[in-house]
Amino acid sequence: MGSFCFLIVLVLISFCQHSVAQPATTNDASMRRVAEAGRSIKAISANITLSWNTNGELRKTSGRVLLQKPNYAVLKLSGDYELRLLVSDGKSIYTYNNEKTYTKGSTASDGNNIAAPWWSLPIRFFFTQTFNPFGKNDDPATKLHWVGIQKISGKAYSVVTVKSANPMPYEATLFFSQDGVLERSTVRVVYSSSRTTTFDAQLSNIQINPSISRSSFLIAPTPNTMLETKHPKSDILDIGDLVPEFRLPTETGVDWSLLKERKHAKLTLINFWYLNCAPCMLEFPDLEKLYQQAHARGFNIVAIDKSDSATAIAKYAQRAHLTFPLVMGGEERRGSIFQRYHVSAFPTSYLIDAKGRIVWRSLGPNSEDLRAELIKRGMLNN
């Protein structure tokens, strides 16, 4: 994948030749039982296989996962995906994409931000018991359907489908073992008649509630590894830098000026995104929530789109119920806003003060750390 903006789309696995389905029913009680069974599991050890397919080009990665509630995890991978190791020790998440550098972030108290790659839905469900493939909380706009019990290779699974238009139109199918483990997940999103990307996640050789010592989740970086303060593929602007000023049109054609707007705000988040960037849109509900909570205290957001039309942006903003400004940055080219802000991966975000100086930055979705920064600076209550 190589970029923080990974095309987010999973295709429905065809198990039909191996399964016999019972009559489909819509049964909220059955889905509640699935979630309750998942909540009762305290630890899991399993092999994990992740694949993604863009217009017939299949890629695959696999490895081993060790999970323990409330927020402990070890994920070791090898293959086409760039992540090699993820460790959560209950306080911090460490990610290694190579043998020389690592990143470090905060772990949510309930483990809801332990899901890398994003489509490792069995990991997310273990911690959250949410049926939403694109978030840590169930989306009221989603349509959940209890399909029933299907047998695949002689094993019975509880099958649930999920449909929604947020953050983009999709259909997901989730396969739960009778123990309450989400063993297989698929999501299908078709961008157009000529463009489909598919992702799949599957656990195997599963051990439920194995005896695991907390020391299994401790990691000590070796002397040869360094903490990344910048993404290795992007020389993003530094904390303390003054950001370039800009004036760009919104999707309605009204100009939005950073110089004018930042003077009326204590903190402004400048976010770079585009419509086919699923991690960008996954982050937007959290950003909208922060905007609603902190705007009255002086927090502002402007999201700068790459390449999309005003009509497409307006339709998405309406569908996603976004109220913060969306502006049009145009194409990525020499001298563009993206080059001036050193943006080479999406989403990229800079938090600036009223003088235009960077006080926080992120390459990739990172709403949890942004929330912590806003709390630290008095924009939100703890």
pLDDT at residue 100 in the model: 76
pLDDT at residue 219 in the model: 80
Least reliable range by pLDDT among 211-225, 304-318, 359-373: 211-225
Residue 162: closest CA among 176, 186, 145, 178: 145
Instruction: Based on the fold, state whether residues 183 and 323 are members of the same structural domain.
Output: no
- Mean pLDDT is highest, among 91-105, 130-144, 306-320, for 306-320
Instruction: Based on the fold, state whether residues 151 and 50 are members of the same structural domain.
Output: yes
Q: How confident is residue 340, by pLDDT bands cut at 50, 70 and 90?
A: very high
Domains: count for the chain: 2
pLDDT at residue 223 in the model: 65
| pLDDT exceeds cutoff 90 at 302 | yes
**Cβ atoms < 10 Å from Cβ of 253:** 8
Find out whether 173 and 202 touch, Cβ atoms under 8 Å.
no
Residue pLDDT, tens place only, 147-170: 999 999 999 999 999 988 776 778
HSE-up (13 A, CA, CB side) for residue 118: 28
Write down the residue that tokens 């309930």 correspond to.
110
| pLDDT exceeds cutoff 60 at 366 | yes
348/226: higher pLDDT: 348
Q: Does residue 232 lie within any of the structural domains? A: no
Residue pLDDT, tens place only, 2-47: 443 433 333 333 333 333 333 334 468 888 899 999 999 999 999 9
CATH of the domain at 56: 2.50.20.10
Find out whether 250 and 354 touch, Cβ atoms under 8 Å.
no
First and final CA of the chain: distance in angstroms? 36
φ and ψ at residue 316, rounded to 5 degrees? -65, -45
Domain hosting 279: range is 247-376
Q: Is this prediction's pTM over 0.85?
A: no
pLDDT at residue 113 in the model: 86
Q: How confident is residue 191, by pLDDT bands cut at 50, 70 and 90?
A: low
Q: Does residue 322 lie within any of the structural domains? A: yes
Q: Which of 227, 258, 279 is the last residue of a domain?
A: 227
Please, what is the Cα angle at 366 between 316 and 285, to 5 degrees?
30
Give the Cα separation of 246 and 236 in Å (integer): 17
Instruction: Based on the fold, state whether residues 65 and 149 are members of the same structural domain.
Output: yes
**Cβ atoms < 10 Å from Cβ of 134:** 26
